[in-house]
Chains A and B, each alone.
Chain A
């Protein structure tokens, strides 16, 4: 308990005295994880819609595979990404191994199944009446999909949040394709891993607290975003008095 209290004090001290290394690691963590979440959302929410709204042979199998991929170990994904982008690999020509860029790519791959699968799950919770109503009111295909997405926005946002959670908290991929290079690819999770290995317990815990604080800020912002939309919708629906 003593160690945890010490760590908490250390974390606060590091944040407020502007420890440059901690600041840079934190900023890098945010940049990489938010980038991969945004890219993941832009790629995989539409993919989820595509899969959900179309019927094709092997749809059930595809969804099953996607759900299985929820459990992909991060080191395994890291290894696959490494094999692809290593200079000896098919995409080695880009030479992006051990860079933040390949970490973003890896995290997008990692959260893909989660965002896709949970989007599908979100959409399936919406009553088919919504889509039918939209179409009967003259909506185009795209507009009707958007209408359903709007109905499912809480669950879709959850899908994106879970993706973010996975991206910011994973160690295996970041270590494997990033190399934990000081000043370049070291992020909070890999730094925690390193410091723990060195026996620096207080520092590791402190970094952990910072990571949780980051996740909290992002979560609060995301929820506020939803509440704002909710209030707006409620206002626009309220009968004019």
Chain B
């Protein structure tokens, strides 16, 4: 046997690998996310068809689908550990930072996977054309990172509560509101073909949001994770 001094980043990798392996077997979160997103998207496309022309309305619709899908799946990352009583085992073998980083990356992969599925569907079903793809991708990537940073720490808080489902959405909404307003506006600009410089203020807000939520999560997690 060889004993290595492992950094918290490499421990985070093992947490991530374990979560991915576990998710591929159970599809606990992925099914909830994808089913919610696809059903909502299909319902919306049947209801409004391709009559929606306002980029702002289309981008609102897109982020509403992403937000509510996140609410249905991203909290599972901590709730599952609590419900299957593996949380103390994880506390016993890994540092707080590595657990949070591993879970953050897991949720990020989950949400990016969802977006890879729903963005083409969204564009096809609603007949949307993205006139500035660079800005669109930047807003979606930063919006997703911000969404994941905020929801992962909230998931850790909610996992210890009794009424988990309702509490997750209630706690998330006020924290995610500034992010949602910015991504809706930024996505609208990308859809209507605004130049990158016109969307720069939205991108700056999103970068700041990601930094604040990311740093805040690491500072708060110790208090949240310890009983």
On whether the two chains bind one another, the answer is: no
